[in-house]
Structure 1
């Protein structure tokens, strides 16, 4: 059957598009509410991380200046050791702040994206009414039947396409997280080898670079996991969480500080490597699972499209 169209679209096409926008609205409202909560959480984390830098910096100044704490440390003969420890704590706090800012920016960007998508669904109900009327008029004009089933198909297809879009975004996020986690694992392996060989204490240059690369790769992987968590919420999958990376994230200066090294930098690197490995396995599993779900959604849409074509051919 040949139906009237607007810009090459049939009434059925218009109905499916309108229903897709309508089906997307409620999940988007839920997702935006969750995203706003994450933004508030990340904002608090940035504030806390900034305050920690101030606190740790004050401790360093206290040891560097003429204070009772410095005098007592001098008496005990521990001034250098305590100063090294406090400086390492400052670097840790700065690294935590950078991570908190990254996660806050990602959360804000995700909320903004959801807000923009929600704005595009505001006239969905009016569009559905118009498209429904056009489809009924077109079928009556050609003596056709099956408008009720066509609307059911349109509703189902709209819901499935919305789900397919969210799944595609989640698959992409899982793939990116897995890639960055794999890269972080390789960088950590090299850093662990350097620390294990003790070259970090006697060789300048390259060892520091390897540790700096590892720190940056872990930071990027952590940010990718945070983005994946946001996408998992949209497809109703349990979040990965921080997987413990942010707690152990440190900059190269902290890892290569002599005091921190003696206190167990090698062990912290190994623990971080274990968490990265576990997170990588989880991300790969999620990618496979989400890809399977996306394939199932596409198959269901194809079946409905075939039924739709059969109904229209008889009309």
Structure 2
């Protein structure tokens, strides 16, 4: 088995902290977010500790990406507050914010003809003038190697496939080496092999001391790779806690509006795996009413 984590650039610990510290690095306190007069999120509170991966799950429109943007400092809340390693993302300088958190968005499109190596190198810009800048070339090379984009280094990023661009975006996040990492559906454009690679790198960042908050739609992957889960629905938190507490058939079926079973298996080494099993072929007559009205197959 290939160890995709062995070449991931390390995430240094914030000053005064060791990788073993169980500090609440991300603190969200009674957060509310509006879009005009519409309340998108309300009374959202949770914490994320150092070295842990927190998964944000929930149906389409539940507010996962909205919440991630608010945490990252890109969507000012209407109420409540956010702290990232003690930093208020809405009251600090752009440089300090960029040294505190890295963000991978859902949309990894690029509008300008940058080379791949230049995009990854953008992750090092916040450290200009700092002693860490002395290692820029090494960190960028390690990030590209870890995400398997080193062979694309001199390619125009606009000529890449969606999956390749996603891996470049993840490489930039790796190169940024921040104590907090936000990932919005990082596996959406990836094939199954690169999905597992990306999620493995996410775990590697956490092992190195980063706090990772990730939006995932694949519930089984979230159960496998996340330490804690925040389940959103109808503009608020429906459930939160360790995977075993949140992942119940009743909770998931209610939140997603679809019959879902949760099963566990135990590997030979004692590892417990959680499997999410949605009901198949459950589309009702109500869903399909009128769908085929006026339709006649060709030639009939």
Which bin holds the TM-score, normalised by the shorter protein?
A: under 0.3
More helix by share: 1
TM-score, normalised via structure 2 length: 0.22
Structure with larger Rg: 1
